[in-house]
A and B are shown apart, each in its own frame.
Chain A
Amino acid sequence: MKEIMSNNNTTNISQARKAVEQLKMEAYMDRIKVSKAAADLLAYCDAHIGEDPLIIPVPASENPFREKKFFCTIL
């Protein structure tokens, strides 16, 4: 019984130590300002929006789902 109690306590302590190490790493990581992060997200969208077929639709003939052609398989 005592051994089990000791083991539980040891496990709890090692878990608590791991949690502290993890939090230290997360707390001290390098971060950038939201304004910079937001600007980068905007820049990425802007650079790629022209090629986004769901925003700037390509002609129906080039989108296999929009064109009215019928697909047949040879049996």
Chain B
Amino acid sequence: RREHPWEPGPQTPPPCLSLPASCRAKMATEGLHENETLASLKGEAESLKGRLEEERAKLHDVELHQVAERVEALGQFVMKTRRTLKGHGNKVLCMDWCKDKRRIVSSSQDGKVIVWDSFTTNKEHAVTMPCTWVMACAYAPSGCAIACGGLDNKCSVYPLTFDKNENMAAKKKSVAMHTNYLSACSFTNSDMQILTASGDGTCALWDVESGQLLQSFHGHGADVLCLDLAPSETGNTFVSGGCDKKAMVWDMRSGQCIQSFETHESDINSVRYYPSGDAFASGSDDATCRLYDLRADREVAIYSKESIIFGASSVDFSLSGRLLFGGYNDYTINVWDVLKGSRVSILFGHENRVSTLRVSPDGTAFCSGSWDHTLRIWA
């Protein structure tokens, strides 16, 4: 019912009906002005989205797997568990390799963070965090420290010392503070900066020494679950994935989102750059892994099978980028031919969900962590 000629029509209800008519009239004027601007901006956004899709579609002249038909098929794979790392008392949530291609840091639901020698399976360090669900851990490039965090909403750095008398927890340094759980963390090229992702919907870059926030990245519409830094040759960007089904590529210096991709049908649990830096893979609760090319600005492959119905929790590439390893919630690891789009192998061994997976720095092996409390090294 229209009270004044310039009051918004039935499709835009007036903001508040309980105030006196004079107040409502004034609000309606402002509302009308702002609603029109808001409406026109939303219209512009919709038409730009349409334009974005058109521009992307124009360049979609062929499929990756078609171009890859001329590539020689891969041979049979003999990949087995070569080491089993036992010692966590609960679900393993995250792991990372040291640059020395030998040491591994892992974190678990019970708050324990362990550093292992993967050659001997010996535990070299262990620390108990003051929180449970340590969802993120990372090795510093120097090999002299580790970072971790989870339900404490923080990312803390622990220097690694070989002095048996020293308590690792004593030297703990709190670096990052989010307003929700920490889901992922990674050192940049040096021990001096850490990039974090959080359930609070943001990513952030921190100075380790001072704990200062250097840059924050806003844009995800829900929890950010994962991130990966571009290979150093490609410059200062990183990719993140979240519960909003989006993968977003960011400029680390400006905080700006450069590109975003929204083709997954559920949470994106893992993102990993292709070794050349020109593409990245993602693993999602929609049971697919996908490949996005950054220069074509689109999804170029989907790795899926009707028989795979459980989410992919973690993905990583082999050294050449030809293989994509995916850890899944059905306890298996599927190995995909990245170019041809087909599965080349399925690896059994874990007795619960695979939650984390990383290829070693020299590509000789990969490590998987699971809710079955163990980590396995495959080669």
The verdict on B34 contacting chain A, using a C-beta distance below 8 Å, is yes
Residues of B close to A44: CB separation below 8 A: 274-276, 278, 320-321
| Chain A, 1-47, CB within 8 A of any chain B CB | 1-2, 5-6, 9-10, 12-13, 16-17, 19-20, 22-24, 26-29, 31-42, 44-47
In angstroms, Cα B74 to Cα A16, docked, is 49
22 A-B Cβ contacts within 8 A? A10-B34, A16-B38, A20-B41, A24-B48, A26-B259, A28-B55, A29-B259, A34-B63, A35-B62, A38-B68, A40-B276, A41-B278, A42-B71, A44-B278, A45-B320, A45-B339, A49-B320, A51-B320, A52-B318, A65-B83, A65-B119, A72-B120
**Contact present for B37 and A13 (CB under 8 Å):** yes
What per-residue 1/0 map shows which CB atoms of B117-160 lie under 8 Å from chain A? 11110100000000000000000000000000000000000000
Q: A41 to B274, Cβ gap below 8 A?
A: yes
Smallest CB-CB separation from B23: which chain A residue?
A2
Give the size of the chain A interface in residues (CB under 8 angstroms).
50
- Is B265 in contact with chain A by the CB < 8 A criterion? no
Given A34-B61, A42-B339, A65-B364: A9 and B318 interface contact (C-beta under 8 Å): no
Docked CA distance A66–B15 (Å): 69
Q: List the A side residues contacting B117 at CB < 8 Å.
A: 73
Write out the residue numbers on chain B whose beta carbons fall within 8 Å of the beta carbon of A38: 62-64, 67-68, 293, 300
Give Cα A64–Cα B82 distance, bound, in whole angstroms. Answer: 10
| Among candidates B60, B102, B300, B322, residue contacting A45 with C-beta atoms closer than 8 Å | B322
B379 contacts the other chain (Cβ, under 8 Å)?
yes
The reply to whether B52 and A34 form a contact with Cβ atoms under 8 Å apart is no
- Cβ-closest chain A residue relative to B124: A73
* A33 to B87 Cα, complex, angstroms: 49
Docked pose: A17 CA to B43 CA in angstroms: 11
A55: which B residues are within 8 A, CB to CB?
74, 318, 320, 322-323
> A33 near B379 (CB under 8 angstroms)?
no
The 4 closest A-B pairs by CB, nearest first: A23-B48, A48-B320, A16-B41, A52-B320
Q: Does B21 contact A (CB under 8 A)?
A: no
In the complex, B27 has a CB within 8 A of chain A: yes
Is there contact, CB below 8 Å, between B278 and A31?
Answer: no
Q: If the complex has contacts A20-B44, A26-B52, are A9 and B34 also in contact, measured as CB distance less than 8 A?
A: yes
Partner of B297, one of A16, A29, A36: A29
> Distance (Å) between the CB of A43 and the closest chain B CB?
9
Interface size on B, residues (CB 8 A): 72
Give chain B's interface residues, CB within 8 Å of chain A: 15-16, 19, 23, 26-27, 30-31, 34, 37-38, 41-42, 44-45, 48-49, 51-52, 55-56, 59-64, 67-68, 71, 74, 79, 82-83, 102, 117-120, 122, 219, 257-260, 274-276, 278-279, 293, 295-298, 300, 318-323, 338-339, 359, 362-366, 377, 379
Establish whether residues B45 and A20, one from each chain, have CB atoms under 8 Å apart when the complex forms. yes
Contact partners of B318 in chain A: CB under 8 A: 52, 54-55
Is the pair A54, B379 in contact by a Cβ cutoff of 8 Å?
yes
Q: How far is the CB of A37 from chain B (nearest CB, A)?
A: 4
Q: Are B319's CB and A53's CB within 8 A?
A: yes
- A32: chain B residues at CB < 8 Å are 59, 295-296
Report the separation of the CA atoms of residues A8 and B278 in the bound assembly, to the nearest whole angstrom: 40
Asked whether, in the complex, the Cβ of B339 is within 8 Å of the Cβ of A6, the reply is: no
Q: Which of B293, B300, B319, B364 contacts A64 (CB 8 A)?
A: B364
Contacts of B59 in A (CB 8 A): 31-34
Alpha-carbon distance between A40 and B219 when the two chains are bound, in angstroms: 30
Considering the complex, give the chain A residue whose CB is closest to the CB of B276: A44
Given the contacts A45-B339, A73-B122, A27 and B64 also touching, CB distance less than 8 Å: no
Whether B30 lies near A54 (C-beta < 8 A) is: no
The answer to whether B259 and A9 have CB atoms under 8 Å apart is: no
A19, B70: Cα distance in complex, Å: 42
Contact across chains for B379 and A65 when beta carbons are under 8 A apart: yes
Shortest Cβ gap from A47 to chain B (Å): 8
When the two chains form the complex, which single residue of A10, A42, A53, A73 contacts B120, counting CB atoms closer than 8 Å? A73
- Please indicate the chain A residues that have their CB under 8 angstroms from the CB of B260 in the complex: 26
Complex CA distance for A27 and B323, rounded to whole angstroms: 31
A13 touches B38 (CB 8 A): yes
Query: Given the complex, which residues of B lie within 8 Å of A2, measured CB to CB?
Result: 23, 26-27
